[in-house]
Structure 1
Amino acid sequence: MKKTIIVLFILAMAIFLSGCQEQVTPEDRLAEYIEHWNNLEFGEMYEKYLNEGTKAAYGTDEFIDRQQKLHEDLGIENLEVTFTEAPEDTEWEQEQPADFPVQVSMDTLAGPVEFEETMTLLYEETEEAGNWFVEWTPSFIFPQLEAGDPVRISRQAAARGELYDRNDQPLAVNSTGRSIGVVPEKFTDDADKEQLAELLGMSVEEIDRQLEQDWVQNNLSQFVPLSKTSNDNTELLEQVLEIPGTMHQETAMREYPYGEALSHLIGYIGPITAEQLSELQEQGYTENDMIGRQGLERQLEDRLRGEDGMRIYIDKEQEQITVAEKQAVDGKKIQLTIDAELQQIAYESMDGEAGTSAAVDPETGETLVLLSSPGFNPSEFMLGMSGESYEELKEDPLMPLYNRFAQSYAPGSTIKPVTAAIGLEAGTLDPSEGLTIEGETWQKDDWGGYEVTRVHPEAPNPIDLNKALVYSDNIYFARQALEMGRSTLVEGLENFAFGEEIPYPLALQSSQISNDGNISSEGQQADTSFGQGQMLANILHLASVYQPFLTDGVMHEPTLLLEEEDAQVWKDGLVSAENAEILRTDLRNVVVDGFAQEANLENIPLAGKTGTAELKAAGEESGQENGFFIAYDSANPEFIIAMMVEDVGDNDGSAYVAGMVGETFEQFYQ
């Protein structure tokens, strides 16, 4: 009896399970299939859900491999597949196909793709049991895609955005030139290789490296670019074509009309490196792209680059069917506050000397000049500089690749008007009170071996503020700094933004009072008052700190992009109108009566202050001298210009720089 009950129970369970299997609907099977589809589980879809007819027509290479490769090549993301369910009372006949509308959406490199196709499921018996299976065609990848149709992607390059100055003068603009290269299968003679290397300023090894790349070796009949040149370099282009296997073709180029004068500021573009490509490939960069490598070309890369257009299409024999298309978006035109003509004049006035210069509009803070000298030719980097030429630049003792405007330097006596302003505002400095100063050096009794030295001991006593600025008297300013006290001096310099990050689109080294922001001794306090000790100032900041003398106490944030809102107050209340007028008068007298005679122009009444900063290591009695001059037209102060030249000891010190600044004003206003 017990055995009979067990047998009956097993038979009942078998009948029950058989009934459950019969209840599996095509809708259930499609839901499972789509879940695998959304998870990109193409192998699972192929093995368990495709009907026999589909598998006979399409192998795993067509279904699994192709879909995986298309997802990778086309950048397919956010795939979402759904289907429209059948009415609840639908009865499924195994002899009849089951059709469902299927909705597919995805994002691709060329934009979104959305479509709807009807998917059919057929009931088929298998060795295990009957079930519903998907009848698949390539149209479920993309509409109208058929077996054997290639799917291709084309790229429409976006034009790089261009840079212009405040007067709409071009600083970095697009153009065309010639790409010089070879077809490897026709370029086989070693003597020809040596001749081409000499013409292009390359080494044979550099040419070999280009020809040994994998993509070149895979197809020796394609053009391999080696160098670029301008369209008007006809002599070189003709010489190149005399060598078998060479050719040249049109290529996009970048022109830098102001060349060396703006080289550090504008920078240049160059081929993307392998390291950069590994980081930026997801942003759409390819191995053939150019990218900003220095200066604003690099800093503004995201805005200048633009966005390439993309088109995904099915390449049928008689037509091309577009699947998705995204139009190219060109890079932005960006206008700078720079006055390119003024910058060119200032650069030429420096005559190749190592140094830097900056000019600002005192009423707005706009940067009119920002240069480093000597510069370099940015086009050489863009065209592809040879290793030999690059080494020459690196070994040049004047360091043309070194960006001096990004650095900070001991400002020397150019800081004395700032020290004076702090004393005037604190009430510790009476501009009309004269100090009696004797001799070339001075020290307090407890200073030991430290002394303050002045360059012009012939200055007649008593020495008031005007004489102290005209004769650039270190002792006067050291004594005034001690009179105002250490905390007043530090706080005053901090009010002039020493120790603060300079708010600017490019990274600039901040100006500093000292290495730790404090003054630890009276000797350091004295040194700081005349721009020595551990004090450092960035050239753009140095031009900016003279603004309050012309704006009755306001210093504006420096701006570089014309789109930025100018006249943003950086610091306010730095000097009263009365004290600003005193300083303006004295700075004019520095040029008329002092040691900036080279800037005492007949038709342009310049005012300003010279400065010489000595750089010497511990234990040295003397060191390299950097010369400074900061000036403005006292009758029409459209801009303040600061200039620094390194190693002026053999060139009449800061007076040498005053002459360069004077020449800049003369040339600009002629």
Structure 2
Amino acid sequence: MKKKVILSVGIAAIAVCVVTGGYLGYRTMYAQTRSQALTAYMKNIEKHDYEKMYEMLDDQSKSYIKKDDFVRRSQNIYEGIEATDIKIKVTKDEKDKALQYDTHMKTVAGELNFKNQASFTKKDGKYYLQWDDEIIFPDLLRDDTVRVSSVAAKRGNIFDREGSLLAGDGQVSSVGLVPEKMSTDPSADLQNISDLLQIPVETIQKKLKENWVTPGSFVPVKNIKKLSPLMPQEEQQKSPDFALQSELLAIPGVMITDAQDRVYPLGEKASLLIGYIQNITAEDLKKHSQKGYTAQSKIGKSGLETLYEDRLHGTDGCKIWIADKNGDNKETLVSQEVKDGEDIKTTIDSNLQGQIYDSFQGDQGTSVAMNPYTGEVLALVSAPGYDDNDFILGMSKEKWKEINDDPAQPMYNRFRASWVPGSSLKPIIAGVGLSTGTLLADEDLGPSVSSWKKDDSWGNYEITTLHTYDGPANLQNAMIYSDNIYFAKAALKTGQDTLTSSLDKLGFGQDIPFEIVMKHSQYANEGEDLSDEVTLADSGYGQGQMLVNPLHMASMYSAFANEGDMIKPKLEFSESLETEKWVEGAFTPKAANTVKDDLIQVIENPAGTGHAARMDSISLAGKTGTAEIKESKEDTSGTELGWFDVFTTDPNLKEPILLITMVQDVKDRGGSGYVVDKTKPILEQWIQKQAQ
């Protein structure tokens, strides 16, 4: 239900803008003409100097209204309607007749224009205004009042692809007090409530002392999460929210009832994606001064709530009207219709988003799920997250400090960042080499060994690889066994110029064409390049100075499913979605299909690093990656990132999926194998969904 509010007066700036010959120009304070007298009068509205305005009235007008009443009435009306940019244009000035003029002003309800007239008394060569209430508005009488009514716009909802709510109106539990049911000495009870709800005792006491409160009133204190009616009773009783409500209800006078507020059903599972709203600040009001916000508005502070703010927030309805002495509407001066915020439907799959987050519970990492053929982004996960509902229900200073001091950084958005890709970049290096002709798929680049350096110019530095194998060091074997040495040689064969120009084509160092701003991917630090031979070789297996954004990685991998075309990622759902290409011909069709076939073998071949993800029911293509994070080439104490990039290869699948996942700190936890094991149940459930 829309909330209708009749506002009392506020404070607003008054600006008078007049030009000679049409709109009047400022001249002397004590005017020699009637037009100048009117201009001088209006000039004092700009200054909020209502006392000076009163001095410019003639004696008869002053007998009509006392100075204090005049000042109060003028201030209440002009500032109450937030009048600005007042312009006066004289339309007729004939001797012995009232001066006629047009008035234009901007108000809280929009632009207001009206015709009016004024008469003057001349005394000692100066003109004084013959004032009555109609000078303010033509039909305003002494017993009338000017009122401002507003109707709050409803903020738009955010939905997933199936219409499930991601952000929007929902039920919460309102904790409140009924004064007549409270203890006779409630001090200890109020302190208990304060501790449980993490709000100051003074805040509760202030609410209880508000003018409208009666002994039988329900006085809302704070909203808390509502227990889901779908949750089995035994599970409810294990919930900390159930325990909180039980403790609160044991306090005399406490009642808990249903209320409406903005809710985020996925909570921490999508908090870095959805974000949250908060009360608008003075800085926000200034920044968005022309967008219909008021001091009571809420505004998106992060995530999709900020991204779609202009479409979500809507425009409050507002009406300025004259009420007669009975309070009835005598005349509407200007009105602005309420415009509710727009609902946004995204491509996100809530179930998938939640399942991915749950699968990696306790880890620090990120996942991007995308339809490789349409570019629809199905999930954007950053773990750990925070509960964005806390920002709506009221977050205590202690909770805020806990979140910010958490070493796991729950407010750090990992899917927007860029990371060392490790071996997950090898398919990209292969695609570049095959497309440019600098690499041949069947070419043997030398025997499989555990360590290698090009020559003595590298000093003591050697490139190592985890798995060795029999047979030729060709592309397929190098991909199956994730041979670092092969891909270091491949990068050297491709060469700095060809590799960097190809990576530039693939979007490195550029904005990702997506609604959410992502950090650029890079192949070299700012001011550096790949001219150093060791750095170039390390880049071939995703080390060196390589950093890749997970969504960018997803788009590059989509080329292997689309004959070499990189698909543009999309976040907003459309029934008539047309696939858009980000980079047409990112790889040649032959190169893309060759790499895809090799990625299938990474899963199908028992020796493949991704074999643990294999399923009988469907063909998958994928690549693992374990990236070293260390201070220098000699550092042996660094940590590792684990990657697993995988996609379904059947374009006729009802719901194809490409899943890019990175987990931090996998050293001594199985490396990329840890990520593979965690990813497989997600894929199995997704594939099972196809049969339903």
Q: TM class by shorter-chain length?
A: 0.7 to 0.9
Aligned residues of 2:92 and 2:101 also touching (Cα < 8 A): no
Distance 1:427 1:339 in 2: 40
Name the CA shift for 1:177/1:327 in 2 (closer, same or farther; >3 Å): farther
Tell me the SS of whatever aligns to 1:119. Answer: strand
Which of 252, 264, 267 is residue 272 of structure 2 equivalent to?
A: 264
Distance 2:138 2:289 in 1: 29
Are 1:208 and 2:202 counterparts?
Answer: yes
Aligned residues of 2:561 and 2:649 also touching (Cα < 8 A): no
Aligned residues of 1:184 and 1:220 also touching (Cα < 8 A): no
Name the CA shift for 1:84/1:499 in 2 (closer, same or farther; >3 Å): closer
Counterpart for residue 628 of structure 2 = 614
Name the CA shift for 1:475/1:132 in 2 (closer, same or farther; >3 Å): closer
Which of 373, 382, 385 is residue 372 of structure 1 equivalent to?
A: 382
Extract unaligned runs of 5+ from structure 2. Answer: 1-30, 228-240
What is the deviation of 1:327? 1.9
Letter paired with 1:426:
T
Which of 612, 625, 631 is residue 640 of structure 2 equivalent to?
A: 625
- TM-score norm. by structure 1 comes to 0.85
Extract unaligned runs of 5+ from structure 1. Answer: 1-26, 93-97
Aligned residues of 1:365 and 1:566 also touching (Cα < 8 A): no
Distance 2:242 2:289 in 1: 37
What is the deviation of 1:235? 8.5
Of 335-344 and 405-414, the range deviating more from structure 2: 335-344
Distance 1:442 1:623 in 2: 21
Counterpart for residue 422 of structure 1 = 432
Deviations 1:333-360 (A, max 9, x none): 1111222232223223323421101122
Aligned residues: 625
Of 359-368 and 262-271, the range deviating more from structure 2: 359-368
Which of 311, 315, 319 is residue 307 of structure 1 equivalent to?
A: 315
Which of 189, 193, 204 is residue 196 of structure 1 equivalent to?
A: 193
Name the CA shift for 1:374/1:46 in 2 (closer, same or farther; >3 Å): same
What is the deviation of 1:629? 0.8
Tell me the SS of whatever aligns to 1:547. Answer: helix
Tell me the SS of whatever aligns to 1:39. Answer: helix
- TM-score norm. by structure 2 comes to 0.82
Tell me the SS of whatever aligns to 1:546. Answer: helix
What is the deviation of 1:103? 3.3
What is the deviation of 1:32? 2.0
Distance 1:70 1:417 in 2: 70
Letter paired with 1:157:
A
Which of 610, 632, 651 is residue 596 of structure 1 equivalent to?
A: 610
Which of 29, 36, 45 is residue 40 of structure 2 equivalent to?
A: 36
Name the CA shift for 1:581/1:84 in 2 (closer, same or farther; >3 Å): closer
Counterpart for residue 4 of structure 2 = none
Q: How does 1:127-526 map to 2 (within 5 A)?
A: 128=124, 133-147=128-142, 149-180=144-175, 189-200=186-197, 202=198, 206-208=200-202, 226-230=221-225, 252-273=260-281, 276=284, 283-321=291-329, 322-445=332-455, 446-457=457-468, 459-516=469-526, 518-526=529-537
Distance 2:98 2:78 in 1: 26
What is the deviation of 1:183? 9.4
Counterpart for residue 74 of structure 1 = 81
Counterpart for residue 17 of structure 2 = none
Aligned residues of 1:33 and 1:45 also touching (Cα < 8 A): no
Aligned residues of 1:436 and 1:461 also touching (Cα < 8 A): no
Distance 1:141 1:259 in 2: 52
Distance 2:208 2:193 in 1: 18
What is the deviation of 1:54? 0.6
Deviations 1:445-491 (A, max 9, x none): 2100111001002x113211000000000001111111121111111
What is the deviation of 1:192? 2.4
Tell me the SS of whatever aligns to 1:172. Answer: strand
Letter paired with 2:262:
R
Counterpart for residue 106 of structure 2 = 107
Letter paired with 2:603:
V
Are 1:587 and 2:628 counterparts?
Answer: no
Which of 531, 544, 551 is residue 542 of structure 2 equivalent to?
A: 531
Deviations 1:123-150 (A, max 9, x none): 56x5x46x66432211222344333544
Aligned residues of 2:109 and 2:320 also touching (Cα < 8 A): yes
Distance 1:230 1:607 in 2: 42
Which of 528, 546, 554 is residue 557 of structure 2 equivalent to?
A: 546
Distance 2:367 2:354 in 1: 11
Aligned residues of 1:372 and 1:405 also touching (Cα < 8 A): yes
Of 573-582 and 319-328, the range deviating more from structure 2: 319-328
Counterpart for residue 233 of structure 2 = none
Letter paired with 2:118:
M
Aligned residues of 1:345 and 1:667 also touching (Cα < 8 A): no
Of 396-405 and 624-633, the range deviating more from structure 2: 396-405
Of 526-535 and 552-561, the range deviating more from structure 2: 552-561
Name the CA shift for 1:449/1:71 in 2 (closer, same or farther; >3 Å): farther
Of 65-74 and 561-570, the range deviating more from structure 2: 561-570
Name the CA shift for 1:46/1:368 in 2 (closer, same or farther; >3 Å): same
Aligned residues of 1:345 and 1:668 also touching (Cα < 8 A): no
Deviations 1:146-165 (A, max 9, x none): 33544332321110011112
Distance 1:305 1:69 in 2: 29
What is the deviation of 1:218? 9.1
Identity of matched residues, %: 36
Aligned residues of 1:627 and 1:644 also touching (Cα < 8 A): yes
Query: Which structure's CA Rg is the greater one?
Result: 1
Counterpart for residue 61 of structure 2 = 54
Name the CA shift for 1:510/1:555 in 2 (closer, same or farther; >3 Å): same
What is the deviation of 1:83? 4.3
Counterpart for residue 573 of structure 1 = 585
Of 284-293 and 216-225, the range deviating more from structure 2: 216-225
Name the CA shift for 1:33/1:45 in 2 (closer, same or farther; >3 Å): farther
Of 36-45 and 327-336, the range deviating more from structure 2: 36-45
Of 339-348 and 571-580, the range deviating more from structure 2: 339-348
